[in-house]
């Protein structure tokens, strides 16, 4: 940008001439708006009609504004509040949380968002939104949320409040009690998970999880199933280990409820801009209203989601059972045909004995009639 070509109080007749003076290409739409915001880092101006009037030229460009920076204060306070409560309840200054749990704690989305993440088909049916839109929404929003969380944790670390480390949670399903038991992975278990993941990436001829993500959800699901088969627990998932300074957390203790409300509003605004929403009836706006907004949160959706998930799961196993039944019946028929052909020359003992008894009975009747005929003959001769 050639700032030397303009001066304070200079009047430039329009946008096209301004770009020509400072050596920038003209743009349109949202790109133009972003470009004008970038100009504001180098000089201050005001407009009069189409004209640009230069008010001030900065010696050094102003730092770039990151939209995610406006989340930091709220996230800092909410995480600190949560950590403070955990320390008070458990006495432990180490807290391990999944990404979904942090999203809920911070108020980046409502409870349906996390509940629907593993039940996207059922959520798609309940909200009457195609599954591909659901998939795109979760991938985009979850990536954005994780970036915001990482940024906030970095800020808290720089202020010596807490340290956020990447780790894993280990989960086992108790089939008898139908409960899920989860716990933070040990250092040795983290090492085992990383080694197994790395081996599977090589098996799939992939360099990173980015390649795996680009391969699609089906490949990712197969990948995770194969990794879990190699491990000694039912499944695992990524999490954050928050190591807190007890005194520092106590000093940072704030009121969470108002902060969560402010953050939720900003979360909605951010996603609306991210998806470039202009139609309030579009799929993305409906999903924001139902999954992100506190105002739009409807616990009935949660209940319906769980019910529909259980119903689909029940139907799935019933269909499997019916198919197994049909397969067994066909297998029996096939086996019977084979046995009948294989044993076509063999007569069973029961069948043989039945035949012998029949013959014996027939023989007895023949002897009786022979006796009668002989007596008749004798009677005729004597007379």
Q: Is 133 helix (H, G, I), strand (E, B) or coil?
A: helix
Nearest residue to 236 (alpha-carbon basis) of 164, 178, 166, 172:
172
Question: Stretch 321-350: mean pLDDT, rounded?
Answer: 85
Question: Stretch 164-191: mean pLDDT, rounded?
Answer: 88
Burial 251-263 (b: 16+ CB within 10 A, else e): ebeeebeebbebb
| Dihedral (Cα; 25, 29, 34, 36), 10-degree rounding | 60
Question: Using the 8-state DSSP alphabet, how is residue 216 labeled?
Answer: -
Question: Using the 8-state DSSP alphabet, how is residue 243 labeled?
Answer: E
pLDDT at residue number 67: 56
CA atoms within 13 A on the CB side of 333: 6
For residue 156, give Cα distances in angstroms to 113, 149, 205, 252. 26, 11, 38, 10
Q: Directed axis angle between helix 72-90 and helix 131-158, to 10°?
A: 80
Compute CA 376 distance to the chain's CA centroid, rounded to the nearest angstrom: 100
Q: What confidence tier does 363 reach under pLDDT thresholds 50, 70, 90?
A: low
Supply 260's token pair: 């969560």
Cα–Cα distance measured from residue 151 to residue 242, given in angstroms and rounded to the nearest whole number: 14
Cα–Cα distance measured from residue 228 to residue 248, given in angstroms and rounded to the nearest whole number: 39
Task: Decide if 53 contacts 45 (C-beta within 8 A).
Answer: yes
Q: Is 16 helix (H, G, I), strand (E, B) or coil?
A: helix
Question: Using the 8-state DSSP alphabet, how is residue 161 labeled?
Answer: S
- pLDDT digit string (tens) for 253-295? 655 567 778 888 999 999 999 999 999 899 999 999 999 998 8
The partner residues of 172 in beta bridges, in order of sequence, read 181
pTM comes to 0.54
Task: Decide if 275 contacts 140 (C-beta within 8 A).
Answer: yes
β-bridge pairing 51-57 and 43-48: antiparallel
Supply 249's token pair: 């957390």
For residue 45, give Cα distances in angstroms to 15, 36, 48, 64, 171. 12, 10, 10, 17, 58
Task: Decide if 133 contacts 315 (C-beta within 8 A).
Answer: no
The better pLDDT of the pair 262, 335 is held by 335
- pLDDT digit string (tens) for 79-124? 888 888 888 888 888 888 888 888 888 888 888 988 888 898 999 9
Supply 361's token pair: 């009975």
* Tokens 């085992």, residue located: 192
Cα–Cα distance measured from residue 156 to residue 171, given in angstroms and rounded to the nearest whole number: 29
- Residues in the chain, overall count: 383
The mean predicted confidence, pLDDT, of the chain is 85
- pLDDT digit string (tens) for 140-150? 898 888 888 88
Among 188-197, 344-353, 363-372, which is the least confidently predicted range? Answer: 363-372
* E strand or H helix at 342: helix 299-342
- pLDDT digit string (tens) for 212-252? 888 877 888 899 889 989 998 998 989 999 888 888 777 76
pLDDT at residue number 283: 94
DSSP string, 169-207: EEEEEETTTTEEEEEEPPHHHHHHHHHHHHHHHHHTT-S
């Amino acid at each position: 940008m050639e700032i030397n070509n303009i001066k304070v109080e200079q009047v430039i007749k329009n946008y096209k001439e301004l770009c020509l003076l400072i050596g920038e290409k003209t743009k349109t739409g949202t790109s133009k708006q972003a470009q004008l915001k970038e100009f504001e880092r180098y000089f201050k101006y005001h407009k009069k009609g189409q004209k640009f009037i230069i008010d001030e030229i900065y010696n050094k460009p102003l730092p770039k504004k990151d939209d995610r920076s406006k989340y930091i204060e709220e996230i800092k306070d909410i995480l600190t509040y949560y950590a403070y409560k955990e320390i008070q309840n458990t006495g432990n200054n180490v807290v391990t949380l999944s990404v979904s749990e942090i999203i809920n704690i911070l108020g980046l989305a409502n409870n349906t968002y996390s509940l629907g993440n593993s039940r996207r088909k059922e959520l798609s049916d309940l909200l009457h939104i195609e599954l591909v839109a659901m998939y795109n929404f979760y991938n985009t929003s979850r990536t954005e949320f994780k970036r915001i969380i990482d940024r906030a944790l970095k800020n808290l670390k720089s202020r010596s409040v807490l340290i956020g480390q990447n780790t894993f949670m280990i989960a086992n399903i108790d089939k008898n009690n139908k409960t899920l038991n989860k716990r933070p992975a040990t250092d040795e278990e983290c090492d085992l998970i990383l080694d197994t993941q790395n081996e599977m990436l090589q098996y799939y001829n992939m360099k990173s999880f980015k390649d795996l993500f680009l391969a699609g959800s089906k490949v990712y699901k197969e990948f995770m199933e194969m990794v879990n088969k190699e491990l000694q627990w039912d499944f695992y998932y990524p999490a954050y280990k928050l190591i807190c300074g007890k005194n520092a957390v106590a000093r940072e203790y704030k009121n969470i409820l108002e902060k969560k409300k402010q953050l939720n509003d900003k979360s909605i605004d951010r996603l609306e801009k991210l998806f470039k929403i202009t139609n309030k009836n579009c799929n993305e706006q409906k999903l924001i209203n139902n999954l992100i907004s506190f105002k739009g949160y409807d616990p009935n959706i949660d209940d319906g989601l769980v019910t529909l998930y259980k119903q689909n799961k029940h139907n799935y196993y019933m269909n499997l059972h019916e198919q197994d039944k049909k397969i067994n019946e066909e297998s029996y028929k096939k086996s019977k045909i084979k046995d009948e052909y294989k044993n076509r020359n063999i007569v069973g003992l029961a069948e043989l004995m039945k035949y012998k008894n029949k013959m014996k009975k027939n023989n007895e009747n023949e002897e009786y009639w022979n006796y009668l005929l002989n007596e008749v003959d004798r009677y005729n001769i004597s007379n």
